[in-house]
Every structure is written in C-alpha cells, then in structure tokens.
Structure 1
Amino acid sequence: MMTRFIVLGCMLAAGLAGCVPSPRFETTTNYFSPVSEAGKLCVAQCRQVQSMCESARELALQTCRAEGLTRAHADYRAYLKSLPKDYNKKKMKTLSDFEREISCSSNLYCSSDYDQCFKSCGGRIEQQTFCVKDCKLMKPPQPDGVAVGPKTTL
C-alpha cells in the first residue's frame, strides 16, 4: 500500500514539474534594403523568385494531399472488403482514420533562399530576441519585453 502512495506521489510531482511556467522568447527580424538602384532591382527579383518558390511549394503540398486522399479512399475500400461479414461495426475503422495517416511536407525553403538572395543584393538582415512572458523567472529577473542577447546580423 505504501508503495502505491510513493509511486502516486512521484507521478504527481513529475506532472506538476511539467506545469511550471518558464520564460517565453520571440525573435524579430528586420530587413534593411540596399540603397543603390541596382540593389533595389536585385531585391525585387528576389521577391519574384520567392513568390514562385512559395507557389511551387503550395502546389506540391496540394498535390501530395490530393494523392493522399486518393490512397486513403482506396485503402478504406480495400479495408471494408477485407472485413468478415459478421465483423463488430463498433470496432470498424472510418474513412477519417485513413485520412489522418496522410502526411505531406515540402523540401522547398523559400524564406532562407530569399534571405540569401537579399543579402547577396547588398541588403542587411538583423535579428533580436526578446523575452515576452514570465521574464521575472529569468536569472536575474527581467521585465517582460526586454531584449536578451545581442542583435545579430545574418
């Protein structure tokens, strides 16, 4: 009986430890365009390339989802055909069970490519991290909204 209380106490302590608030941080990114006309034209081309990249990324994701739905429907029909006639309908899978298995991602990283293009045109990118919530829990305690760490130039 005592062992149960010890195990329960440990589980409760572990659960509460996960609920302890911690500071939340956000990073802001500022883009400083080049001043020359050639640099500005170059950045405009970077934006066009980024737009095309994002369109291609979205098309790839939509295509993946459509193909996934087609597979899910085919798998569901095959599943239904494989069930014995006296199968318990309460335990039967639904189409949404098969649709949940669809996983799509893209290997196109448009924003990092844009950043590289932007910098190659003579632009500058700066990032700054701020503590935005529960900053008083930092050591030493800080007010919410304080900048943490140096500004970095990418």
Structure 2
Amino acid sequence: MRMILLIATLLFITACSPRYEIKTHYTQPISSTGKICLSKCEQNRQGCQERCDQHYNQCLSKAESNAKQNMNSMLNEYDRNMNGYERDINRYSSEMDRWQLRQDRLKDDYSHFDARCKDRRDNYACNKANELDDDLSSMYSSKPEEPSRPYKPTLSTQIEKFQENCSRKCNCVKGYDNCFVSCGGKLDYEKICVENCK
C-alpha cells in the first residue's frame, strides 16, 4: 500500500512539473561565401524533407495495403477467439453460480451463529461465527474471474496499428544545423518553459 501511495505521489509531482523545449536561434555568417554556402544547406534541407515526406507517404500507403490484406486473417482469429470466449463465459457463469450459492449459504450460517453468539453468549456459536466470517473473507480471493471479451478488429484500427511504424523523423534539421555551422553560422540554444511554468 505504501508503495502504491509513493508511486501515485511521484506521478502527481511529475505531471505537475514544468515541461521545457529547446529553441534554436540562428546567427547567419557575414561573408558572402558563407551566405552562398547557407543556400546549399537550405536546398539540402528541403530535399531531405521532401524525401522524408515521400517515404512517409509511401509507408502509410503500404501500411494500409498490408492492413487490408491481413483483415481476413484477423477476423478469422477473432471468430476463433469468440468461440473460446463463449465456452469460457459459460464455464464462468456456472462457476459464478456455484460460488454465489456457497457465499449465500455462508452468509446465512454466519448470520445465524452471529445472532446466537450475541444473544446467548454461546462460545460455540461465537467461534463458529468467527470461522464463517474468515471463510467469507477468503471467498473473495477464490471468486471466479470473468473472461475478457475479444476485441473485434476493424479496418480503420488495423490501418492505424500498421501505420504506427511510419515516421516523419528524418533528422533533416540536425543535418541543416551541422551544415549551418560548417558555413560559418552560429547556433544559440534557449530553454523555454512551455507547460506548467511557475
């Protein structure tokens, strides 16, 4: 319990802590050769970004195509899982009925012996009531667990799942920054608070 409280406190603190982003300030070179060099950096950055966008769009299209091809097998797997789920839910239902019946009997017996213990101060009844109370408490740990219903896949969710691997991160800015510095430019970084600022 102490561990859960500690984790919850840490999560609360980190959720409320400030979030920062790094902003880059560019100081261009003064020389004309440096400025010509920078135009090549910009061309390279644009080319990198165009290739990146093209690769990203191809990845999205391929992911959609793969999702459509896999849809039938996913639905077949879902049907198999549903058959298993129906068997499991029937078994769970009968186990739950037996568990509930046993719990009801224990509650009735407990009520009887507890009342007798309180009214007559009967040692046997008091001991029996305590024993039944323990049995009732331990019953919750043996309560049947309801099976999880399988999730039915849809084409849109499958497309999303396949497209998760597609990325627009191509490090074009990093390449541009390196080129910018090699042309005589200067980079300055500023840490800016963007969320939960004090």
Instruction: For 2:25 and 2:179, locate their aligned partners in 1 and report how far apart those are by CA, in whole Å.
Output: 15
Deviations 1:56-114 (A, max 9, x none): 00110110110000000110023335646x958x8432223322322113673111110
One of 75, 79, 82 as aligned partner of 2:70: 75
Q: CA RMSD in A?
A: 2.7
3-state SS in 1 of match to 2:167: coil
Count of residue correspondences? 127
Structure 1 residue aligned with 2:94: none
Matched, 1:18 2:78: no
Task: Quote how far apart the aligned CAs of 1:44 are.
Answer: 1.0
Which structure is higher in strand share? 1
Instruction: For 1:108 and 1:132, locate their aligned partners in 2 and report how far apart those are by CA, in whole Å.
Output: 24
One of 132, 154, 167 as aligned partner of 1:105: 167
Instruction: For 2:195 and 2:73, locate their aligned partners in 1 and report how far apart those are by CA, in whole Å.
Output: 51
Larger radius of gyration: 2
Structure 2 residue aligned with 1:35: 30
Structure 2 residue aligned with 1:4: none
Percent identity at matched positions? 28
TM-score, length of structure 2 as denominator length? 0.55
Task: Quote how far apart the aligned CAs of 1:19 are.
Answer: 0.8
What 5-or-longer segments of structure 2 have no aligned partner? Answer: 86-148
For the structure 1 residues 101 and 131, does the alpha-carbon distance in structure 2 shift closer, same or farther, using more than 3 Å as the test?
A: closer
Amino acid at match of 2:10: A
TM-score, length of structure 1 as denominator length? 0.68
